[in-house]
Amino acid sequence: MTRSSPPFSMPASAHPGRIGLRVGSVDRLRPVYEDVLGLDVDRDGDTAVLSAGETPLVVLDEDATAPERPRDAAGLFHLAIRVPTRAALGDVLTRLDGSGVSLTGASDHLVSEALYLRDPEGNGVEVYRDRPREAWTATGEHGDRVEMDTLPLDLDDLRAAATGASADALPSGTDLGHVHLEVSSLEASKAFYVDRLGLNTRNESYQGALFVAAGDYHHHVGVNTWNRRQSPGGSSRGVEWFEFVVPVEAVTALREALEGAGAAVDRVGDTLRLTDPDGIEVRVRPTS
């Protein structure tokens, strides 16, 4: 089947802003995010905002009654915190070494180098740094895809890149680089993220996975069916929502495209709220 161009194309300047997680206990998660990863934590009642300097990345909404995510439910694979330098990634690894928190993986993806772990409630977390774009390899018939792989990461070499100082906070320039989801259908997810949200397909080389992005970034959203999730997450713990930050004119263009296609548009102030095929809320808000 040949896909026609979507009525809306996500501008290349668009990027993820924050991600919201429903959690059972902020206090249980706080040491990992604050002491090990180096995020600032600002708690107000049942809500905690995790930031790198002035940039908010993660919003934790505490609900002690929320059940664990069912084994067959779609949801978060990992949230991905992007640091600006290899030295900063080395500092994270050094803090992990002395924390008692175990890595669940460490990979060279060609476009990036990444460390993986899980927080105490099982939410996947990636911390990574991008290689320079000139080191990425374009692929595909039209050169519109990017080569990615999963190779072992040399941890000793990464440790050697650390600053060696008592760096206990993430540096300026840290942001939410991408969100990776476990979904029930790649085809349905592609129809939503590519055909409706106007993201570009960037890599389909991994069996059971799809990576899409605004512009020519390697990916802002990853989706996979590796664990055969079949039902929506509902009110269980895990990802509630994540957002794209876009120029204000892009919010208008997306709203008009959705209304032109007969889709319901949920607006809260200047922010559009959509729901992906697995019940995860995707917010599109204008750059402040």
Amino acid 288: pLDDT? 76
Tokens, residue 145: 């895809």
Q: Which of 96, 98, 86 is nearest to 128 (CA)?
A: 86
Q: Which amino acid is at 134?
A: E
pTM (2 d.p.): 0.96
Closest CA to 184 of 284, 280, 282: 280
Q: What is the domain partition of the chain in residue ranges?
A: 15-286
Per-residue model confidence (pLDDT) at position 220: 98
pLDDT tens for 53-111 read 999 999 999 999 999 999 999 999 999 999 999 999 999 999 999 899 999 999 999 99
Report pLDDT for 234.
83
Rounded to whole angstroms, the Cα distance separating 118 from 116 reads 7
Closest CA to 145 of 196, 181, 110: 110
Strand partners, 284: 244, 272
Q: What is the pLDDT of residue 165?
A: 66
Provide the pLDDT for residue 139: 97
How many whole angstroms separate alpha carbon 180 and alpha carbon 224? 8
Q: Are 196 and 274 in contact (CB under 8 A)?
A: yes
- For domain 15-286, give the CATH superfamily: 2,3-Dihydroxybiphenyl 1,2-Dioxygenase, domain 1 (3.10.180.10)
Kindly report the average pLDDT of the chain as a whole number. Answer: 95
Q: How many CA atoms lie within 13 A of 177 on its CB side?
A: 22
SS3 228: coil
Once rounded to an integer, what is the mean pLDDT over residues 18-32? 97
Asked whether the predicted pLDDT for residue 229 surpasses 70, the reply is: yes
What does the pLDDT read at residue 4? 52
Residue 223's beta-bridge partner residues?
A: 181, 210
Q: What is the pLDDT of residues 112-143, one digit of tens each?
A: 999 999 999 999 999 999 999 999 999 999 99
pLDDT in tens, 197-226: 999 999 999 999 999 999 999 999 999 999
**Per-residue pLDDT at 2:** 47
Question: Backbone phi, then psi, for 139, in 5-degree steps?
Answer: -135, -175
